[in-house]
Chains A and B, each alone.
Chain A
Amino acid sequence: EIVLTQSPGTVSLSPGERATLSCRASQSVNNDYLAWYQQKPGQAPRVLIFGASSTATGIPDRFSGSGSGTDFTLTISRLEPEDFAVYYCQQYGSSPFTFGQGTKLEIK
């Protein structure tokens, strides 16, 4: 089983700032099948990035993903008020399709 470790656990930033979230895998992710999801309270998750760096349909271009192998990053170039939420990475290259424990992005 691939274990995904996200850092930091919580990050406090202000609107307009840049956010950089990290996801490290315990072994290489097959085909870089790494996704990022955003979840707000009381809502289902929403996919932002798939294949490590491809942006999902309808996602603003301030969201970008990078990385390969075992180290991946989600960057939000300029935070908007609606971006404050919990973010999860997930690998879907090999079963079980594990999630990271999440990073909470809160308003400073």
Chain B
Amino acid sequence: EVQLVESGGGLVQPGGSLRLSCAASGFTFSSYWMTWVRQAPGKGLEWVAHINQDGSERGYVDSVRGRCTISRDNAKNSLYLQMNSLRAEDTAVYYCARVWSAFDVWGQGTMVTVSS
């Protein structure tokens, strides 16, 4: 079964850091671009970042560029999002997704809450 499972979310103070992980199974992880998408409570979807198969190409939405780093470990079938200098407006459910026919496989999401 093709599956993505996120972890690493939680409550963090403004200015803090968090590292999200996404474990992939059921497909050849190293063959696909991957992406992170977030959704603030009661709001719509926002694309956050993407990474190509070998990590040589990455892209970010302006609001996180310079504060977040997307990475992957193909040997561990895992995707990561390192988030620094967190702000209240980063509070959201963070989804990882596979990029093929658009974003065709999604995880269940992990909640990040930035609050003092």
Contacts and interface: CB of A to CB of B under 8 A. Distances in A.
Interface of A: 33, 35, 37, 39, 44-47, 50-51, 54, 56-57, 88, 90, 92, 95-102
A44 to B, nearest CB: 4
Give 5 nearest A-B pairs by CB, closest first.
A35-B102, A50-B102, A44-B106, A50-B101, A97-B47
A43 B46 CA distance: 16
Chain B, interface SS category: strand
B95 interface: yes
B108 A44 contact: yes
A90 B109 contact: no
Contacts, number: 60
Nearest to B104: A47
B59 interface: yes
A56 B101 contact: yes
A11 to B, nearest CB: 16
Interface residues on B, range: 20 to 34
Interface of B: 35, 37, 44-47, 50, 59, 61-62, 95, 99, 101-104, 106-109
A101 B101 contact: no
Contacts of B44: 88, 99-102
Q: Which of A35, A39, A57, A92 is packed against the most chain B CB atoms within 10 Å?
A: A92
A45 to B, nearest CB: 6
Contacts of B102: 33, 35, 37, 47, 50-51, 56, 90, 92
Given A44-B95, A44-B109, A99 B104 contact: no
Contact of A44 (B46, B50, B107): B107
Contacts of A35: 101-103
Contact of A45 (B35, B45, B61): B45
A103 B76 CA distance: 38
A59 B35 CA distance: 22
